[in-house]
């Protein structure tokens, strides 16, 4: 529950475009529009990693069953996938260096694939039912 509260607080720091899909899920996708927002999001992801004692640039946490996750990245990239629930699939692919992304999936049966190409920052909160 601490993770959900932290993710919600992190999301509140930037604009929150919201999209709903017909598959029983809601996604909050955050893409910073300037360097200050990107830096704030990077700091938020670093604080999340520090709070959870994550020492690697890429990290997957899964609580539940039938979840799948994968990260492909370079040495200067940061990726976090956190899944709680059942039946989630999430991937982050980062090339070009200096990327940062957090993918947080809750509930059940959500799918997300993120691709970053050099210096990008973002966050997705995905809730499925």
Total of domains in the chain: 1
16 in a structural domain: no
Query: pLDDT tens across 17-52, in order?
Result: 445 545 699 999 999 999 999 999 999 999 999 999
What are the φ/ψ torsions at residue 88 (nearest 5 degrees)?
-85, 145
Q: Please write the tens of the pLDDT for every residue from 7-19.
A: 544 444 444 444 5
118 half-sphere exposure, CB direction, 13 A CA radius:
1
Residue 23 in any domain: the answer is no
Main-chain dihedrals φ then ψ at residue 23, nearest 5 degrees:
-85, 20
pTM: 0.82
Does residue 103 lie in a domain region? Answer: yes
In a domain, 19, yes or no: no
Other CB atoms within 10 Å distance of the CB of residue 45: 21
Q: Show the domain range for 97.
A: 2-9+28-128
Evaluate whether residue 107 is within a structural domain: yes
> What per-residue string of b and e applies to 74-109 under the rule 16 or more CB within 10 Å gives b?
eeebbbbbbbbbebbbbbbbbeeeebbbbbbbbbbb
| 17, part of any domain | no
Residue 97 lies in a domain: yes
Residue 112 domain flag: yes
């Amino acid at each position: 529950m601490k993770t959900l509260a932290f993710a919600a607080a992190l999301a509140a720091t930037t604009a929150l475009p919201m999209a709903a899909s017909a598959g029983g899920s809601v996604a909050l996708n955050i893409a910073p529009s300037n360097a200050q927002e990107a830096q704030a999001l990077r700091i938020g992801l670093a604080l999340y990693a520090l709070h959870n004692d994550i020492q690697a640039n890429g990290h997957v946490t899964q609580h539940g069953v039938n979840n799948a996750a994968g990260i492909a990245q370079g040495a200067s990239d940061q990726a976090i996938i956190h899944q709680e629930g059942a039946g989630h699939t999430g991937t982050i692919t980062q090339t070009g260096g200096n990327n940062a992304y957090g993918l947080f999936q809750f509930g059940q049966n959500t799918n997300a694939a993120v691709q970053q190409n050099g210096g990008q920052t973002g966050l997705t909160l995905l809730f499925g039912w």
